[in-house]
């Protein structure tokens, strides 16, 4: 019935009623090991890594097993007849056959397909190899992967010979110290003499010598003002991703160039790590799509900026106490006076400012910034990440981007066709694949604060 399931029927209405005939193929196998009369060529007889047992009487495989299991440092292949008989008795017991002397003398060779029983009986992995006498090439014809000790046997004209070192027989000479394999003993000997113990030590400077990266501003200020309650990482960021469609154009430029399609942005997804909210904006007008996107980013950026000010408030207060603020930095105050934290606390208490963040957001600094101005810029520019955005997304929206975010206080870094960075006063658009070769986000966030 298994055959009936495999047959191809003209339609589902057919079924097997009976099998009227069949053929039996008989193949002559020649994989029995135990021919004691085989003539072993000189190339194998003289090989010091192969043992040819004399007078095996069709039990050369038992000679190999008995020799392998023989205990002691010095094994003599000519004095193992008692061990061979003992191994044969063990095999008869395993096969539930009554041992007799006649059976021992007239035992027929064992087929290689029956070696699974030999392995279970003697708890050995039996690997069988063939050797081409002319070329010396050794090929494995049976490999066992059981959890037993392994024995390697060389088969030649149905005669089993014991292999003492299969690597040497295959002309694989392995270094005992390292895992290197050589094709000859001479090359192994040369390696052992000259290079085996050679150790190459390569040293590299811990810090760059030619390129000196800019110091991390936040970390430098935390150290300078002895602030211990905050680290130098920018904790939160915004990510985005555009989707576009292809608009057929067929615009011909010159004689040989035709622009067949134009990429049109139709949707953008925006998420942030502070609120963990995700927004998706869809519009058939790319300019309106960008307006919705950056309006939402502006709202989220205000929350992240407030978080950053709260995180570094102790550092900001310490800077004000040490250096003070002038009337140029705090609009609407008397000229020629420096203000400290006592004044700031009084303004907040008198409700001139709603809170410290409200006071912080109204401070203005010129091109020559103080420590407070540098820190305000670092924590005020919220990182906005895209993946491969510098090469694709920014070029996708470039036609309407600056019309939406404006051109005042814009800083951009362009390398080849890729935008490395586009920065405004409250955000810094970055391509994460440009910021860090290893794509480690924490490393990127450290670089942002520089």
pLDDT in tens, 395-436: 889 889 888 988 777 888 777 777 888 888 889 998 887 665
Distance CA 391, CA 396 (A): 9
Cβ neighbours of 431 (radius 10 Å) = 21
Q: Name which of 243, 282, 67 is nearest 162 in CA terms.
A: 67
Could you give all domains of the chain from N- to C-terminal order, each with its CATH number? 32-163 (3.90.70.80), 217-448 (no CATH)
| Residue 29: pLDDT over 70 | no
Cβ neighbours of 89 (radius 10 Å) = 13
| Residue 275: pLDDT over 80 | yes
CB 277 within 8 A of CB 304: no
Q: Name which of 39, 48, 44, 29 is nearest 154 in CA terms.
A: 44
| Helices marked H in 78-232 | 81-94, 101-105, 115-122, 166-169, 185-194, 217-224
Average pLDDT taken over every residue of the chain: 83
Given this model, what pLDDT does residue 238 score?
95
| Residue 447: pLDDT over 60 | no
| Percent of the chain residues past pLDDT 90, beyond the cut | 23
Distance CA 450, CA 421 (A): 14
pLDDT band at 335 (very low <50, low <70, confident <90, very high): low
Given this model, what pLDDT does residue 195 score?
66
| Residue 120: pLDDT over 70 | yes
| Percent of the chain residues past pLDDT 70, beyond the cut | 87
Residue reference for tokens 């890594």 = 49
Given this model, what pLDDT does residue 284 score?
92
Torsion of CA 55, 57, 62, 65, to 10 degrees: 20
CB 272 within 8 A of CB 304: yes
Distance CA 153, CA 142 (A): 10
**Which of the residue ranges 30-39, 93-102, 116-125, 438-447 would you say has the lowest mean pLDDT?**
438-447
**Which of the residue ranges 1-10, 64-73, 232-241 would you say has the lowest mean pLDDT?**
1-10
Q: Rounded mean pLDDT of 327-349?
A: 82
pLDDT band at 107 (very low <50, low <70, confident <90, very high): confident
Torsion of CA 414, 446, 407, 425, to 10 degrees: -170
pLDDT band at 217 (very low <50, low <70, confident <90, very high): confident
Q: Rounded mean pLDDT of 353-363?
A: 90
The whole model's pTM is what? Answer: 0.51
pLDDT band at 281 (very low <50, low <70, confident <90, very high): very high
């Amino acid at each position: 019935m298994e055959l009936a399931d495999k047959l191809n029927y003209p339609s589902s209405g057919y079924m097997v009623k009976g099998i009227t005939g069949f053929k039996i193929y008989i193949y002559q196998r020649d994989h029995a090991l135990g021919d004691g009369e085989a003539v072993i060529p000189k190339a194998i007889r003289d090989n010091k890594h192969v043992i040819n047992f004399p007078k095996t009487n069709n039990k050369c495989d038992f000679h190999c097993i008995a020799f392998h299991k023989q205990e002691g440092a010095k094994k003599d292949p000519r004095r193992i007849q008692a061990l061979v008989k003992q191994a044969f008795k063990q095999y008869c017991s395993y096969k539930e056959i009554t041992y007799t002397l006649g059976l021992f003398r007239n035992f027929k060779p064992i087929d290689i397909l029956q070696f699974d029983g030999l392995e279970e009986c003697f708890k050995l992995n039996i690997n069988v190899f063939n050797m081409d006498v002319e070329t010396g090439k050794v090929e494995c014809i049976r490999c066992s992967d059981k959890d037993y000790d392994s024995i390697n046997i060389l088969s030649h004209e149905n005669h089993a010979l014991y292999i003492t070192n299969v690597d040497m027989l295959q002309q694989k000479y392995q270094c005992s110290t390292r895992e290197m394999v050589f094709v000859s003993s001479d090359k192994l000997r040369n390696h052992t003499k000259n290079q085996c113990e050679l150790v190459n030590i390569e040293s590299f400077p811990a810090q760059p010598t030619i390129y000196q990266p800019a110091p991390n501003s936040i970390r430098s200020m935390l150290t300078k003002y002895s602030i211990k309650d905050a680290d130098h990482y920018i904790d939160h960021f915004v990510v985005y991703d555009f989707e576009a469609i292809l608009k057929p154009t067929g615009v011909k430029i010159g004689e040989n160039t035709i622009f067949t399609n134009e990429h049109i942005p139709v949707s953008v997804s925006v998420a942030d790590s502070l609120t963990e909210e995700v927004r998706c904006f869809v519009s058939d007008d790319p300019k309106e799509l960008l307006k919705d996107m950056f309006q939402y980013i502006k709202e989220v950026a205000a929350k992240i900026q407030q978080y950053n000010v709260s995180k570094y408030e102790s550092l900001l207060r310490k800077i004000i106490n040490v250096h003070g603020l002038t009337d140029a930095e705090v609009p609407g105050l008397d000229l020629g006076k420096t203000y400290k934290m006592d004044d700031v606390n009084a303004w907040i208490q008198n409700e001139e400012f709603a809170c410290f963040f409200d006071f912080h957001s109204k401070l203005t600094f010129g091109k020559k910034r103080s420590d407070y101005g540098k820190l305000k810029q670092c924590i005020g520019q919220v990182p906005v990440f895209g993946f491969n955005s510098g090469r694709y997304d920014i070029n996708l929206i470039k036609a309407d981007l600056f019309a939406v975010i404006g051109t005042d206080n814009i800083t951009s870094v362009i390398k080849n066709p890729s935008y490395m960075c586009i920065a405004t006063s409250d955000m810094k658009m970055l391509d994460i694949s440009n910021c860090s070769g290893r794509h480690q986000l924490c490393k990127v966030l450290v670089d942002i604060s520089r």
